[in-house]
Amino acid sequence: MLPFSSFSFRVKLRHGLWAGLLLSSLSLRAQVAGNPYLPTQMPDRLVLNVTQDPSTSVAVNWRTSEVVTESFAEIALAEADPRFVEKAQRLQARTEKLTWQDTPTAHYHSVVFEKLQPNTKYAYRVGQGEHWSEWIHFTTAGKPGEKFSFIYYGDVQTNIRSLWSRVAREAFTKAPEARLMMYAGDLINRANRDVEWGDWFQGGGFIHSMIPAFPTPGNHDHFEDANGLNTTSVFWRPQFTLPENGPKGLEETCYYADIQGMRFISLNSDQVEVSDAHLKSQRDWLEGILKNNPNTWTCITFHHPIVSPKTTRDNKRMRETFKPLFDKYKVDLVLQGHDHTYARGMFNIPMQEKGARSGTMYVVSVSGPKMTNSNVDKAPWMDRAAIYTQLFHVVEVDGDTLSFYTYTATGELYDAFELIKQKGANNKLVNRIPEDVAERN
């Protein structure tokens, strides 16, 4: 029989353990109640990202709980023979801890697969120990001049899991071989809210892990930090690995990638709106990469439109800073968000030089369900417009012809046009608007 003192000690110990477990359980329940996306040892939030040259490299990011201090990625040429896994190369991930206010602490892992072959299908997985993702296929970009396609989304922002997810799936059915998915800002609504990022990753599902992302940040992807500075989401850099070839201080928000004869450029328009220094650094950087551009085509994305569809908005700093460069270097396509409506135009875009005609197609779009409900009129610069319509866009580039297709969330073709290269002249615009589809305004 145990002495009373020993028995008392064990009771106290058990009660203390029980109390600790109870408090831990209550804390976990509170977190679960507000956030269904708690990290575990199993990798989640997988996303491929573009590199400067996606024909020979690609980046991948994923998340785990902080218990996982070391994680890996494995890659091999994809084969029908399942024994391809025996040939896989294993790479140790770079691991970064993210702790932010009441957000569950997590480890974010990243690997850049390099020395890949162009236009080649690979299989990869990520994880550690007994916890691995499935094997996932992706195809590297091809060589300059080869035909390719990409997907463009306007603002995602709200009701992401419930209503944006259908747009992502519809886009994948239309362009499963797309070389990238471009996001024109406002991926979520509140920059540092983990549950919204969880919705974004779940909304896109496995598609995020198969087609590289090319995101540009919007105003809702920024926040005011403790020093009162406008700062990109604390999640942005841990969960995306993007080219660091932009101006200092704007890493992975202002960058470019060259893909099959097109230069893709991201500008951080939210920083332009609030910072003179970032405005100048982006302008100087942009002129440099436009002046020294070996590609046939140029596509630029940012959040705040050069010409706004909303009569109450005018992004004068963006227009006065960058439009002269777009005109000078004959940028082909500018893809934007912010105004939660659809509009596109080219020849009737206002020009500084009298009698000049724009050679750049400007597009504003929205993919999520948050819609502009006022102050939108069809202006003279617009060739086609729409309100209260969730959209996505598939762009195909084949030699000297760029074909742009605008689809609704339910897969109907709403708008289309072609840009055709002309030596010594602006692009030829050929409208392909479906004759039997009325304009939604």
What is the reported pLDDT for 1?
Answer: 38
Which residues fall within 8 angstroms of residue 166, CB to CB, at 6 or more apart?
390, 409
pTM above 0.85, yes or no: yes
Structure tokens at 218: 């919007």
Backbone dihedral angles phi then psi of residue 241, each to the nearest 5 degrees: -115, 105
What is the reported pLDDT for 415?
Answer: 98
Domain ranges of the chain: 44-139, 148-431
CATH superfamily of this structure's domain 148-431: Metallo-dependent phosphatases (3.60.21.10)
Nearest Cα neighbor of 331 from 416, 265, 390 is: 265
What is the reported pLDDT for 30?
Answer: 42
What is the reported pLDDT for 33?
Answer: 55
What is the reported pLDDT for 20?
Answer: 41
Structural contact between residues 208 and 201, judged by C-beta atoms closer than 8 angstroms: yes
Q: How far apart are CA 418 and CA 425, in angstroms?
A: 16
Per-residue pLDDT tens over the stretch 150-177: 999 999 999 999 999 999 999 999 999 9
Structural contact between residues 166 and 172, judged by C-beta atoms closer than 8 angstroms: no
Is the domain spanning 44-139 CATH 1.10.1040.10? The answer is no
Per-residue pLDDT tens over the stretch 345-373: 999 998 888 778 899 999 999 999 999 87
Nearest Cα neighbor of 309 from 389, 363, 369, 358 is: 363
What is the reported pLDDT for 159?
Answer: 98
Q: How far apart are CA 418 and CA 403, in angstroms?
A: 4
Which residues fall within 8 angstroms of residue 23, CB to CB, at 6 or more apart?
none
Split the chain (441 residues) into runs of 10 and give each run's mean pLDDT.
36 39 42 80 98 98 98 98 98 97 95 98 98 98 97 98 98 98 98 97 98 98 93 97 97 98 97 87 97 98 95 90 96 97 94 86 98 82 95 98 98 98 95 95 82
